[in-house]
Amino acid sequence: MTNHWRDIKNTDLILINGANPAEAHPVGFQWFVAAKNDPKRGPGSGGGAKMVHADPRFTRTSALADIYARIRVGTDVAYFGGLINYVLQNTLFHEEYVRNYTNASFLVKKDYGFKDGLFTGYDPATRKYDITTWGYQTDDAATAKAIASGSPTGGAPVGIAKRDMTLQDPQTVFQLMKQHYSRYTPEMVSRITGIPQDQFMRIAKLVGEMGKPDKVMTIVYAVGLTQHTTGGELIRAGAVLQLLLGNIGRPGGGMNAERGHANIQGNTDHAISWEILPGYLRIPAPGQKNLVWRCSHQDERVRLQFHSQAGEERILDDDLRPGAQGKDGGPDPERDDRHQHRPRFQPRDAGAGQPQVAGRDGSAAHHQLRILARAWRQPEFGENRGVHGADHPLDREGWLLREQRSLVAVEGPGPAARGQRPPRPLGPR
């Protein structure tokens, strides 16, 4: 989350995608209600913040929303793309913010292009991009001055981008983005997402007001966006919209990821899991023996963070992963896997073991989907040996899934559907 839970009460518009905070976060949802009940908040002259919920399912969040838009699964990029296009075409973006606090004015190399769904630099043989043409045009004089100053760069290449503060040059990030998103017309958005065109325009007009200096919008999302192969693109599209409106770094704004349920949110907020420290900090990875090692392999920023008041480096004597240490204080490869469950899936990638999906908690839950695809084709994978991967949100009666409470719609055949067969263990006991 870029903003705090309580900060939601300061917003004028709440855009919710792929989330059900009214049920998943009933305590935190009080701040949504506080914004809606505040007569000083909201579009126009106020009257309370508005809430828009775009989701395939109608939930308690939908019931409390001012607009509920039923969207097809996985089409949020088109949804956000249409909102971005509306803001750009109608000049509703926050001009001062966009010019001074984003890369919109930077000039991109003239070799850059986009055609037939592919950017320049794509190699069909390797299916990878050479991103050389995606870089910025550099100001040689300013770059030379920066090098001469000796300012630390953290290992990044030194280069000062050319800028056009009027945003009129066709090679500016702003103009290239405007051209790219022009394809997301209201007609196309409606055709892709299934949201009626008139309803989408109602949402777009509300969003368009949020580029005013005295208005602010927050975007709230959860695993409905993240649990896709294009999850990064879905979230980035929302972030682009917020940057255009000047809603990043402001009270009541931001991109706020609220986990699938309150336990996961509290886990990361309070650093309960083994792999994180308070403040969303990662613990040292294997091989990072102490601060000297980390600073020698990281950038200048990390070194500056760990200076003492006397200016001397403080050495992190104790590895935060003692169970992974070897005799010399370094990593012990034989013991390192005891700290994480992801390596337990690696033998299954080679065809060993029994595949199973146990919810969707974390990046390892759907590790290598081809394992499931291969297993489902094997004759020994019996009829009642679990639920098909595409159907597992429709789980057994009485189960509470990690992301949502799913009710049994249709009784499935066989004993597995009636809960008579216990789930198989994920790994050796």
Instruction: Give residue 135's identity as a one-letter amino acid code.
Output: G
Instruction: Give residue 70's identity as a one-letter amino acid code.
Output: R
Residue (of 248, 258, 256) closest to 216 by Cα position: 248
pLDDT digits (tens, 9 = 90+) for 411-429: 666 554 554 444 444 444 3
**CB of 132 closer than 8 Å to CB of 121:** yes
DSSP annotation of 312: P
pLDDT digits (tens, 9 = 90+) for 101-159: 999 999 999 999 999 889 999 999 999 999 999 999 988 887 777 777 776 665 566 67
Q: Are strands 122-123 and 128-129 parallel, antiparallel or unpaired?
A: antiparallel
**Parts of the chain belonging to CATH 3.40.228.10:** 5-95+184-267
CA atoms within 13 A on the CB side of 51: 27
The fold of 5-95+184-267 is Dimethylsulfoxide Reductase; domain 2 (3.40.228)
Residue with tokens 């009636």: 418
pLDDT digits (tens, 9 = 90+) for 361-412: 444 444 445 555 554 444 544 444 444 444 444 444 443 333 344 455 566 6
CA atoms within 13 A on the CB side of 132: 4
Helix residue ranges, H only, 102-139: none
The pLDDT-based confidence of 271 (bands split at 50, 70, 90) is confident
DSSP assignments along 172-187, one per residue: BHHHHHHHHHTT--HH
Distance of CA 422 to the CA centre of its chain: 34
The pLDDT-based confidence of 354 (bands split at 50, 70, 90) is very low
Beta strands in 61-191 (DSSP E): 67-69, 114-115, 118-119, 122-123, 128-129
Instruction: Give residue 359's identity as a one-letter amino acid code.
Output: G
Question: What is the Cα–Cα distance from 394 to 403, expressed in whole angstroms?
Answer: 12
Strand partners, 68: 53
pLDDT digits (tens, 9 = 90+) for 32-89: 999 999 999 999 888 999 999 999 999 999 999 999 999 999 899 999 999 999 999 9
Question: What is the Cα–Cα distance from 153 to 279, expressed in whole angstroms?
Answer: 25
**214, burial (CB in 10 Å: exposed 0-12, middle 13-18, buried 19+):** exposed
Element (H, E) at 197: helix 197-208
pLDDT digits (tens, 9 = 90+) for 317-330: 333 333 334 444 44
pLDDT digits (tens, 9 = 90+) for 154-186: 556 667 889 999 999 999 999 999 999 999 999
Average pLDDT (230-258) is 93
Check: pTM over 0.95? Answer yes or no. no
Tokens of residue 141, six digits: 């004089």
Question: What is the Cα–Cα distance from 302 to 314, expressed in whole angstroms?
Answer: 12
